[in-house]
Amino acid sequence: MNAEQLRRGVARILSRRPDIAARLAQVGVDAPAIARAAAPSDRGRLEFAGPAIAAATGAASPVGLPRSVSAEIESIIEMVGRPTLFVSGDDFDLPAEEELALRLRAARAAVAPRLRSVGRVEVFDGMVKWPIGTAWMVAEGIAVTNRHVAERFATTDANGRPVLLTDLRGRPYRVVVDFREEHGTIEESEIAVEAVVYLPHRSSAVADVALLRLAGPGRLPPPIPLATGTAAPDRWIAVVGYPQPDERIPPEARAVEETYFSGVYGVKRLSPGQIDRLDLPAAPAWLLAHDATTLGGNSGSVLLDLSTGAAVGLHFMGEYRRANYAVAADEIARILGDLGLAPTRVPAAPSPVPAEDVLPAGAVEAAEDLSGFAGYAADFILPRGDASFEIPLPEVTGQAPGEVATLTDGSGSVLHYRNFSVVMNAARRLCYFSAVNIDGSKTFSINGQRPRWRTDRRLDEALQIIGECYGPEDQGKFSRGHMTRREDPNWGDRREDAVTSNRHTFFVTNACPQVQPFNAGLWLSLENYALENCDQDDMRISVFTGPIFRDDDPEFFGVPVPTAFFKILAFRHDSTKALSATGYVMSQRDVLPSREEFVFGQFRSSQVTIRHIERETGLSFHHLRDHDPFDDGTEAVAVRWLRRPTDIRFA
């Protein structure tokens, strides 16, 4: 049955069954209006009939999209890792997954102020209120939503001008945008829709956009700035809207839907995701794809850039397990400009840098003077002057594989950067360790500022891995995994200092080949969990990270690749005020590229004794082994497999 047959069938049933019409009237539904809406009009448009009837009619899909995809269908794209989080006021919940929680926590300052500007579109038919989609403020007094949402309560007159539909008494339907409707509160913030100022005819080449003028300018939340330029693939975004249960999603998606939504619908949610690559031969220039979780009701949702908080798109449709689609911010800005309306614009965040984005060997670049940086400080952890809290750099003993690389000027072997230091293994062309001091009370978020990887001129280039094993995942190559995390040294009294530290983490001396998703999850969150447990009056920790070199490390593209890495955290414990030092190992052996096929398994993280790390690496961490709460003083190898940060033993 096609949409035209369905419309005729609904009109025929209601005209022949007055008992159904009477029952609908008892619950406040205007049956004659449904009959009129369900019957085909001379323009082939749908008049307001409530979401159940309207949703069944379908809509035109943009050029290049499968014809089977309705512009009113929203969908689940990823079965895991794309939660939907409750919004409350100017804040949102954090997911249980550690890496995603860290990413969203860092984005809070940019994203939270935009949440109040997103509302639920509601149409009143008598006493019945229909939630039909999402809208958000895009200019002074103007909200943007989808055309197919606005068509539930508006149409165009003979001159093509948008007008609100009327009920049997000739009164325009009451339409509001409620900027609250949040989980756990009954508060409302309903603002009336005065007029529809832009409602294009349905066309596969025209973006699914409608503009609404709202009443009460003094009560309106601020417009969300529009990003300039197209959001690049892999850019992290968040969809903010009001997902509703959708009977049209495939049966196999029901369990996933329940996992994501737990039966709670129609309230404001934030759904993180990423921009996808468009693989459509005839897609319009304004089309974006993304993988955030959506359902019916998300039509008209905003896509916020997690780095800037700017709107990069307007969500309008999706195809199950393939992609969700949005109208790019540039197209919305063009429409507003044509109407004489002025949105706020902000530059789009920089594109994520691929693994091979490194300054090539021999390329000319202005040399940065690194001579003034002291790097890692042994007396960083308070109380200063107490020798038991001084932690010198690790010593490379005679048991360590390879030999220490010396600087070209003969001044020593330690590469000092801002807030961290590195010592290199000349034979392996990778670091023995990277040591960093972190002051959790002075950190800066340096979102979107990702420099190119480069070599350090203080060390012979022949002792540094520039390319070779690094590159695209689908070629079996590796990412450059930071040893000192790029976030860790980004602290100081001035933001400029943190920017310098961020730049310094992109020297190849601070990188090791790692399978693409290695440096994430629990491994990524260790420092954050330590900061939560260190002395809250003096949030300082020191971290040592590096590869575990073994003779049987497998070779890829001419480079022996370490199969495991260590990390040691040292800090003054908040409860005991004593020095605490704990060690961890993470293996990537089971997930290394296979020569038969490229396969991923599970990374394994464990807490081990510092003595164990010393035996494995040939490094000496001096007296830290005496402050390890996991060490019982025996020679037995203690291993605690970690699934979450709370499994860690700090005291």
Supply the CATH number for residue 408's domain: 3.40.570.10
Residue 207, pLDDT score = 93
Q: Which residue is it, tokens 């605490």?
A: 580
User: Tokens 């038991």, residue?
Assistant: 388
Identify the helix (H) or strand (E) that includes residue 512: strand 511-514
E strand or H helix at 194, and its extent? Answer: strand 190-198
**Tally of domains in the chain:** 3
User: Which of 347, 366, 396 is where one domain is finished?
Assistant: 347
Helices (H), 466-552: 495-504, 521-533
pLDDT band at residue 128, thresholds of 50, 70 and 90?
confident
How large is the angle between the packed helices 521-533 and 98-111, nearest 10 degrees? 70
Q: Are residues 527 and 588 in the same domain?
A: yes
The pLDDT value given to residue 233:
83
Q: Does 477 map to a domain?
A: yes
* Residue 12 DSSP class: H
Between 2-6, 312-316, 493-497, the lowest mean confidence (pLDDT) is in: 2-6
Instruction: Give pLDDT tens digits for 525-536.
Output: 666 666 665 656
pLDDT at 561 over 60: yes
DSSP, res 402: S
Give the model's pLDDT for residue 357: 52
Residue 273: partners with Cβ closer than 8 Å, 6 or more residues away: 77, 78, 82, 236, 237, 238, 239, 290, 291, 292, 293, 324
Work out the pLDDT band at 639, boundaries 50, 70, 90: very low
pLDDT at 484 over 90: yes
Judged by average pLDDT, the poorest of 185-194, 344-353, 453-462, 623-632 is 344-353
| Cα–Cα distance measured from residue 376 to residue 438, given in angstroms and rounded to the nearest whole number | 10
In a domain, 23, yes or no: yes
CA 111 – CA 93 distance, rounded (Å) = 12
**How far, CA to CA in Å, does 177 sit from each of 133, 283, 552?**
9, 31, 64
Residue 76 in this model has a pLDDT that exceeds 60: no
Q: What burial letters (b/e) apply to 38-52, b meaning 16+ CB within 10 Å?
A: beeeeeeebbbbbbe
Is residue 523 domain-shared with residue 574, that is, in the same domain? yes
> Nearest-CA neighbor of 326 among 62, 46, 59, 115?
62
Confidence of residue 428 (pLDDT cuts 50, 70, 90): very high
**458 and 583: one domain?**
yes
Question: Is 534 within the bounds of a domain?
Answer: yes
Q: Which two tokens stand for residue 70?
A: 């309705």
Read off the CATH number of the domain in which 90 is found: 2.40.10.10
Per-residue model confidence as pLDDT tens digits over 565-582: 999 999 887 777 888 888
In a domain, 206, yes or no: no
Residue 165 placed within a domain: no
Please name which of 504, 534, 647, 521 lies closest in space to residue 591, comparing C-alpha atoms. Answer: 521
Alpha helices in 163-298 (DSSP H): 254-261
Sign, CA torsion 151/317/330/284: negative
| Partner residues linked to 433 by β-bridges | 423
Containing 438, the helix (H) or strand (E) segment is: strand 430-439
pLDDT score recorded for residue 265: 83
Q: Which span out of 281-285, 362-366, 582-586 was modeled with the highest average pLDDT? A: 582-586
Q: Which residue has the tokens 């860790």?
A: 488
326 plus 410 within the same structural domain: no
- Separation between Cα atoms, residue 415 and residue 541, nearest integer Å: 20
Residues 322-338 pLDDT 10s: 678 999 999 999 999 99
Token duo for residue 348 = 């789009």
For residue 39, what is the DSSP state? Answer: S
Closest listed residue to residue 448, CA positions, set 114, 106, 113, 81 = 106
DSSP 571-615: EEBTTT-SEEEEEEEEE-GGGSPPSSS------EEEEE-HHHHHH
398 in the same domain as 279: no
Q: Which residues span the domain enclosing 325?
A: 85-113+225-347
pLDDT of residue 38: 44
| Residue whose tokens read 């996991």 | 630
pLDDT of residue 343: 84
Q: Quick check: 363 pLDDT over 60?
A: no
Question: Is there a domain that residue 518 lies in?
Answer: yes
Highest mean pLDDT among 250-259, 388-397, 584-593: 388-397
Percent of the chain clearing pLDDT 70 (strictly above): 70
**Which residues pair with residue 270 across a beta bridge?**
85, 240
Say if residue 473 is in the same domain as residue 561: yes
Which residues, at least 6 apart from 514, have a Cβ–Cβ distance to it below 8 Å?
478, 479, 480, 481, 565, 588
Q: How confident is the model at residue 64 (pLDDT cuts 50, 70, 90)?
A: very low
Token pair for 42: 């001379």
Helix (H, G, I), strand (E, B) or coil at 55: helix
What is the mean predicted confidence (pLDDT) over 616-630? 92
Let me know whether 449 and 595 are in one domain. Answer: yes
pLDDT for position 252: 60
What are the C-alpha distances in Å from 103 to residues 124, 238, 302, 524, 532? 39, 11, 19, 11, 17
Greatest mean pLDDT among 208-222, 332-346, 361-375, 609-623 lies in: 609-623
Stretch 28-32: mean pLDDT: 55
Neighbouring residues of 537: CB distance < 8 A, sequence distance ≥ 6 = none
| Other CB atoms within 10 Å distance of the CB of residue 55 | 23
Q: Are 234 and 283 in the same domain? A: yes
Angle 309-315-318 (CA atoms, 0-180°, nearest 5)?
135
Which residue among 322, 347, 372 closes a domain?
347
Same domain assignment for residues 396 and 294: no
The winner for highest mean pLDDT among 286-300, 528-542, 608-622 is 608-622
Question: What confidence score (pLDDT) does residue 231 get?
Answer: 83
CB < 8 Å & 24+ apart, contacts of 250-258:
250/320, 253/75, 253/76, 253/320, 256/76, 256/79, 257/76, 257/295
Peptide bond into 272 cis (omega under 30): no
**318 neighbors 77 (Cβ within 8 angstroms):** yes
Which of 56-60, 78-82, 636-640 has the weakest average pLDDT?
56-60
Which residue in this structure is represented by tokens 């990270």?
A: 545
d(CA 414, CA 430): 13
Helix, strand and coil percent figures for the chain, each rounded to 5: 20, 30, 50
What is the Cα gyration radius of the chain?
Answer: 29
Tokens of 186: 């009954």
Residue 479 counted as domain residue: yes
Q: Strand pairing of 118-125 and 128-139?
A: antiparallel
414 and 277 part of one domain: no
Q: Which has the higher per-residue pLDDT, 261 or 121?
A: 121
Which of 320, 347, 374 delimits the end of a domain?
347
Mean pLDDT of 538-543: 84
Other residues' Cβ atoms within 10 Å of the Cβ of residue 473:
15
| H or E stretch covering 150 | helix 147-150
d(CA 287, CA 140): 25
Residues 303 and 400 in one domain: no
Q: Mean pLDDT score of the chain, rounded to an integer?
A: 78
Contact of 417 with 376, CB cutoff 8 Å: no
**Residue 338 in domain:** yes
pLDDT in tens, 194-243: 999 999 987 667 899 999 999 977 789 999 999 988 788 888 999 999 98
Residue type, position 537, single letter:
D
> How many CA atoms lie less than 13 Å away from 283 in the CB half-sphere?
16
Of 98, 231, 241, 239, nearest in space to 178 by CA: 241
List the structure tokens of 43. 């323009």
Residue pair 122/131 in contact by the 8 Å Cβ criterion: yes
Band (302; pLDDT cuts 50, 70, 90): very high
pLDDT beyond 70 at 547? yes
| Mean pLDDT score, 421-443 | 94
Do 102 and 25 belong to one domain? no
Give the pLDDT score at 245: 76
**Residue 471 pLDDT > 60, yes or no?**
yes
Task: Please write the tens of the pLDDT for every residue from 94-127.
Answer: 988 777 888 888 888 889 999 999 999 999 877 7
389 compared with 610, residue with greater pLDDT:
610
